Amino acid sequence: MTITDLRRGDSEGSKPRIPPHNVDAEASLLGAMMLSEEAISTVLELGLTDQDFYKPAHRHIFDAIRSLTIGGEPVDPVTVGEELRKAALLDGIGGLDALVRLQNATPAISSAERYAKIVRDAAKLRRVITAAAAIAEIAYSEPPDVDKALDEAESKIYDVSAGKLNEGAQQLSDLLSQSLETIEERWNNPDSMTGVPTGFTKLDELLLGLQPGALNVIGARPGMGKSALALNMAVNVARNTMRPVIFFSLEMSAYELSQRVLASEASVPSEVLRGAAPTERQWTEIGRAVGRLDIPLIIDDSPSTSVGSMRARARRVRLAQGDLALIVIDYLQLMGGDAKVENRQLEVSEISRNLKLMAREFNVPIVALSQLSRNLENRGDKRPNLSDLRESGAIEQDADVVMFIYRGEAAGDSTAARGTADLIVAKHRAGRTDTVKLAWIEPFTRFENFFEGTSPTTI
């Protein structure tokens, strides 16, 4: 008996058996991918490949969509059709009309993940059939070394289920081994960090950097410098790691933020970039700063404000540019939920919970900026604390680290030192809390390391 015999059945005259598949699910999935970036991200995150599709035309369409996505190109019937035309495959799949029909016939974009799982499961069953046929072929060949044949058979079954045993659950021994490696690294390199350095020395010593999978919240009243601190961190991380950093800005445009970054880096007043004529020295510094800012910092000011839309865009960046180093969100209260909820407090609770899940999914630190309650202004002591987080106690609960910016001079304290800021680490799930002093260079909208008795150093 051969593999072909198995596929046809044992008895003479039996009809060929058709392998498991669901062409409707394949078509609906491809249509959803041509309608939604989030659907594309969801499908690629599941690890689907062109070989998971049963119909050859669907394999080609999926491959074209994936190629466009990796290249950062838009995906729709026209662009997919052009990609297929260049590969001389468009006529074979039925032309552009076939792509339009796929898109128009999609029952529900929101069901893309379900369609993908149907396609994936059918593909797994086909692989089981192929593996079983190959195992039968091994047995019918009557191999001289039976133990070796069994090993080969087990290997084929394992290939089908590879990775399934490792989803979610992990052996304690493996986790302890990882912990020992981390401790040994710290022992051999006392100055090394387990997280991503922010560029602020005292803060990095306290937190050991921003930890992968951690949600970090920075809160402050307006005018304290939340966005400036987050931008400084984003630039430092992108420059030091040369890995993608995404800055989701829900308040300022990408252009405004780029002007802030340039002014800070060049050490020139921001009004110079807004229209005032620069001096020759300032012009020289601006040119040098542009060269230094050749870093993988992506500023996203898209109007979509839900965690789901941000997750989809982050997946696309990761697919095109590699693993992320940091995600920054400015700011939390401007975000919207992925689903309708009864009130804003519940919505913010959902947002903070989903941000924590997003940090774990990407294994990357997230820095989310947060407004503070106006009640803070009515207190004699205007230094913020955890109860001042606006709209929801869930932010405090979900965050691994909560920091507050306090500048006495901005709060109206006439006794406060000028040009300084306190970064109050009020919550640190993995360690101690403390207050880190930073220098504040207001003309350049920049925070720096603070050194007692000396001028601040340039970041």
Render pLDDT for 73-88 as a digit per residue (tens, 0 to 9).
889 999 999 989 888 9
| Residue 117 shares a structural domain with residue 229 | no
165-224: pLDDT as tens digits: 444 556 666 666 766 776 666 566 655 678 899 999 999 999 999 999 999 999 888 888
Residue 207's CB: how many other CB atoms inside 10 A?
A: 29
pLDDT of 2 above 70: no
Please state the rounded mean pLDDT for residues 328-337.
82
Phi and psi at 369, nearest 5°, equal: -85, 145
CA 27 to mean position of chain CA atoms: 28
Output the CA angle 295-301-302, nearest 5 degrees: 125
Asked if residue 177 belongs to a domain, the reply is: no
pLDDT tier at 25 (50, 70, 90 boundaries)?
A: very high
Q: According to the model, what pLDDT value does residue 11 have? A: 47
Collect contacts of 254-257 with beta carbons under 8 A, ≥24 apart: 254/299, 254/300, 254/301, 257/227, 257/231, 257/299, 257/301
Say which range, 41-55, 105-119, 125-139, 441-455, has the weakest mean pLDDT. Answer: 441-455
Q: What tokens does 73 get?
A: 């190109």
Among 199-208, 321-330, 346-355, whose mean pLDDT is lowest? 346-355
Residue 409's contacts (CB-CB under 8 Å, 6 or more residues apart) are 416, 417, 418
**Is residue 66 assigned to a domain?**
yes
Residues 234 and 343 in one domain: yes
* Matching residue, tokens 């913010």: 348
Within this chain, do residues 231 and 338 fall inside the same structural domain, yes or no?
yes
What is the structure's pLDDT at 164?
Answer: 47
* Whether residue 134 has pLDDT greater than 80: yes
Amino acid 392: pLDDT: 60
3-state secondary structure (DSSP) of residue 99: helix
Same domain, 207 and 159: no
16 within domain boundaries:
yes
Is residue 35 within 8 A of residue 115, CB to CB? The reply is no
Asked whether residue 456 carries a pLDDT value surpassing 90, the answer given is: no
Residues 96 and 304: their CA atoms lie apart, in Å, by: 30
C-alpha 402/C-alpha 352 separation (Å) is 13
Is 325 contained in some domain? yes
Q: What is the CATH number of the domain that holds 131?
A: 1.10.860.10
Residues 219 and 152 occupy one common structural domain = no
pLDDT value at position 459?
35
Does a structural domain hold residue 86? yes
Query: Angle of helix 226-241 relative to helix 254-266, nearest 10 degrees?
Result: 70
Decide if 457 is inside a domain: no
Question: Average pLDDT for residues 142-161, to the nearest whole number?
Answer: 74
Which runs of consecutive H residues, i.e. helices, occur in 145-225? 146-161, 172-188, 201-207
77 and 207 in one domain?
A: no
Please state, in angstroms and as integers, the Cα–Cα distance from residue 396 to each residue in 173, 341, 385, following that order.
Answer: 32, 20, 11
Q: Which helix (H) or strand (E) holds 234?
A: helix 226-241
> Please, which pLDDT band fits residue 239 given cuts at 50, 70 and 90?
very high
Is the pLDDT at 425 greater than 90, yes or no? yes
> Within 10 A of 30 (CB to CB), how many other CB atoms are there?
29
Q: What pLDDT, in 10s, does the model give residues 103-118?
A: 888 888 888 889 999 9
| Same-domain status, 388 and 332 | yes
Q: Which domain holds residue 341?
A: 201-449
Q: Across residues 350-358, what is the average pLDDT?
A: 86
* Ranges 133-142, 177-186, 304-313: which has the least confidence: 177-186
Mean pLDDT over the full length of the chain: 82
pLDDT exceeds 60 at position 429? yes
20 shares its domain with 125:
yes
326-330 and 366-370 beta bridge pairing: parallel
More reliable by pLDDT, 44 or 228: 228
Q: Which residue has the higher pLDDT, 204 or 341?
A: 204
Same domain, yes or no: 218 and 367: yes
- Average pLDDT of 381-396? 77
**Residue 1's pLDDT band (cuts 50, 70, 90):** very low
User: Are residues 205 and 146 part of one domain?
Assistant: no
Residue 241's closest CA among 144, 323, 350, 349? 323
Ranking 181-185, 224-228, 261-265, 434-438 by mean pLDDT, the lowest is 181-185
Residue 235 has pLDDT above 90, yes or no: yes
pLDDT at 225: 87
CATH number at residue 256: 3.40.50.300
Residue 130: inside a domain: yes
Q: How confident is the model at residue 432 (pLDDT cuts 50, 70, 90)?
A: very high
User: CA 207, CA 215: separation in Å to the nearest integer?
Assistant: 13
> Could you identify the residue written with the tokens 């009309």?
97
The domain total for the chain is 2
Position with higher pLDDT, 36 vs 278: 36
Q: Quick one: 290 and 435 in the same domain?
A: yes
- Distance CA(345)–CA(323), nearest Å, equals 33
Between 303 and 241, where is the model more confident? 241
Asked if 223 and 135 sit in the same domain, the reply is no
